[in-house]
């Protein structure tokens, strides 16, 4: 006998409950993965390495759960045992919502390699619940199987339902839940749903009563988390958007004692900084190098900015000159909204904002043959570990060149070293962009000179076509910036390929320790 029918439940009714359980357990797994990634983001970012560890550990845990579930179900094919598994999974997910930030804080303090940190974080946060959820599918199949002659149909139907649930969970989590609730609240709600599945499976009245009480407690925890937040959260304002987890904090600029507001989308770097007393002043040194466009192309008026962030550069340009117009391409509308609320972004008739991927914008703009720009500023590489590869390639360089006037200037911010083990990303981009631009100049923002060739820092790549004026009279205004130029002959590493759309191994070079 595969199920306890002693309380009068009919097989048809049980089959329906098992099918519902299979469906929603699949959905729960995907929602756990998507919502859980937002818990990890403030501590270790959202790079490909983090996602690889997350997916790999969850898949490993599901495999272990599948094996265990099948073995246990053969020995004890009891509905009450499946109910316990579901209840334990619900409790662990609920505990994860409250304990994850504390665990991740402790892991972050160890300062481990990103590979190791990502794996440890994924194991600590996701493995226990994933193993239990992985046990559900084979257990359900064993309980549902009443006749060997129809076992293929039963397993196929339950597998299809589980996969359909995974599809629902993916879209529900990515498109709906993350935009409505904080990550911790999503996990608490998810725990409530999994606990409800245990109510559905339990046959004894007293077990159902206990399960309903647990559902009530977890649901109350979800309400509490939504209203009061999750303990041990990172400091500052925490915002989940469709694409990012944003942390907004304030600190003091030790150089001058001025108070600074900081936007962080990845924990290894600050993406945007703003002086609280004068928002149009530039804080980050690298942002000041975009002024080189006005040196190499005097009279620059029409500018394209790829990567909005806190809109520091557009805000500075519009405040310092009323003669420029600027189009800003920012992937994440949530980042723009945060900039409006926390970074003094205001509507301006000389600024247009486009919410789309920068490469998609370039492809569309080239197709529509829009008016070319005097200068293009590219700030899409938000940190050392998060590099959108599609913006590093030969094909991107061709699009950028097409979008510039013949004497236009491209200025790109890259975090890398000129030479050495941390230079691979820069060399690949340099080779790719040199296929479209005749003149390439390098500026070391933080530490100029050959002495610091191996230092990881902001590098500015200024690229121009053959008709650009590479040395107009600059006066004293740009002397400080020009003094950071790399004046030695630059020889790209022959081992590093020119990045292309088909092969741009940015992670391979960026994560060399």
156 and 288 in a single domain? The answer is no
Structure confidence by residue, pLDDT tens digits, 408-460: 999 999 999 999 999 999 999 999 999 999 999 999 999 999 999 999 999 99
User: Rounded to whole angstroms, how far apart are CA atoms 183 and 189?
Assistant: 10
Residue 1 has what pLDDT?
38
| DSSP assignment letter at 464 | E
Residue 48 has what pLDDT?
75
- 79-109 vs 183-201: helix crossing angle, rounded to 10: 160
Structure confidence by residue, pLDDT tens digits, 97-119: 888 888 888 888 888 878 898 89
- In this structure, the number of other CB atoms found within 10 A of the CB of residue 315 comes to 24
Predicted model pTM = 0.78
118 and 204 in a single domain? The answer is yes
Total structural domains within the chain: 2
Give me the CATH number covering residue 89: 1.20.1250
- In this structure, the number of other CB atoms found within 10 A of the CB of residue 370 comes to 13
Give me the CATH number covering residue 431: 3.40.50.150
* Residue 475 placed within a domain: yes
User: Rounded to whole angstroms, how far apart are CA atoms 291 and 300?
Assistant: 10
Report, as ranges of residue numbers, the positions in the chain whose pLDDT lies below 50: 1-10, 513
User: Rounded to whole angstroms, how far apart are CA atoms 45 and 42?
Assistant: 6
* Residue 215 placed within a domain: yes
144 and 33 in a single domain? The answer is yes
Cα dist from 418 to 1, 218, 293, 446, 488, whole Å: 70, 53, 22, 12, 11
294 and 224 in a single domain? The answer is no
Find, among 324, 403, 317, 315, the residue nearest to 359 by Cα: 403
Find, among 454, 439, 310, 295, the residue nearest to 379 by Cα: 310
* Residue 428 placed within a domain: yes
Residue 6 has what pLDDT?
39
192 and 332 in a single domain? The answer is no
Cα dist from 478 to 177, 471, 482, whole Å: 49, 12, 6
Locus of tokens 């990303």: 425
Q: Which two tokens stand for residue 78?
A: 């009891």
User: For residues 72 and 136, is the Cβ–Cβ distance under 8 A?
Assistant: no
Residue 381 has what pLDDT?
81
Residue 513 has what pLDDT?
47
**Owning domain of residue 100:** 11-228
Q: Which two tokens stand for residue 344?
A: 């003094």
215 and 290 in a single domain? The answer is no
Find, among 97, 112, 130, 95, the residue nearest to 43 by Cα: 112
309 and 206 in a single domain? The answer is no
* Residue 3 placed within a domain: no
* Residue 99 placed within a domain: yes
197 and 327 in a single domain? The answer is no
């Amino acid at each position: 006998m595969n199920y306890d029918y002693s309380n009068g439940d009919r097989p048809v009714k049980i089959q329906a409950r098992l099918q519902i359980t299979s469906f929603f357990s699949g959905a729960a797994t995907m929602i756990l993965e998507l919502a859980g990634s937002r818990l990890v983001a403030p501590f270790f970012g959202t790079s490909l390495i983090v996602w690889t560890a997350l997916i790999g550990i969850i898949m490993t845990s599901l495999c272990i759960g599948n094996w265990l579930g099948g073995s246990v179900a053969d020995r004890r094919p009891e509905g009450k045992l499946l109910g316990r598994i579901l209840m334990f999974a619900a409790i662990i997910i609920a505990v994860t919502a409250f304990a994850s930030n504390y665990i991740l804080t402790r892991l972050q303090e160890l300062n481990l390699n990103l590979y190791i940190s990502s794996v440890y974080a994924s194991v600590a946060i996701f493995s226990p619940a994933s193993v239990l959820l992985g046990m559900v599918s084979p257990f359900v199949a064993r309980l549902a199987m009443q006749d060997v002659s129809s076992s293929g149909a039963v397993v196929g139907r339950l597998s299809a339902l589980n996969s359909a649930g995974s599809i629902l969970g993916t879209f529900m989590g990515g498109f709906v839940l993350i935009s409505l609730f904080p990550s911790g609240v999503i996990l608490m709600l998810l725990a409530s749903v999994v606990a409800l599945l245990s109510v559905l499976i339990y046959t004894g009245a007293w077990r159902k009563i206990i399960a309903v009480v647990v559902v009530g407690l977890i649901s109350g925890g979800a309400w509490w988390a939504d209203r009061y937040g999750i303990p041990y959260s990172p400091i500052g304002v925490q915002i989940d958007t469709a694409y990012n987890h944003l942390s907004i904090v304030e600190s003091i600029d030790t150089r001058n004692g001025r108070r600074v507001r900081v936007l962080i989308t990845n924990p290894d770097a600050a993406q945007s900084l703003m002086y609280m007393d004068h928002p149009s002043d530039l804080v980050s040194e690298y942002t000041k190098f975009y002024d080189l466009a006005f040196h190499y192309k005097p009279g620059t008026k029409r500018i394209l900015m790829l990567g909005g962030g806190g809109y520091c550069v557009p805000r500075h340009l519009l405040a310092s000159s009323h003669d420029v117009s600027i189009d800003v391409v920012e992937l994440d509308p949530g980042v723009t909204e945060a900039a409006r609320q926390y970074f003094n972004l205001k509507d301006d008739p000389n600024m247009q904002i486009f919410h789309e991927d920068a490469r998609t914008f370039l492809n569309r703009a080239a197709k529509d043959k829009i008016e070319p720009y005097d200068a293009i500023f590219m700030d899409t590489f938000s940190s050392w570990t998060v590099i959108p590869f599609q913006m590093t390639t030969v094909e991107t360089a061709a699009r950028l060149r097409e979008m510039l006037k013949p004497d236009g200037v491209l200025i790109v911010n890259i975090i890398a070293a000129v030479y050495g083990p941390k230079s691979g990303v820069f060399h690949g981009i340099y080779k790719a962009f040199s296929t479209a631009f005749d003149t390439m100049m390098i500026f070391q923002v933080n530490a100029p000179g050959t002495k610091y060739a191996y230092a990881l820092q902001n590098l500015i790549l200024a690229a121009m076509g053959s008709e650009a004026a590479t040395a107009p009279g600059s006066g004293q205004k740009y002397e400080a910036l020009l003094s950071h130029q790399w004046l030695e002959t630059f020889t790209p590493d022959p081992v590093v390929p020119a990045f292309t759309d088909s092969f741009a191994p940015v992670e391979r070079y960026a994560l060399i320790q």
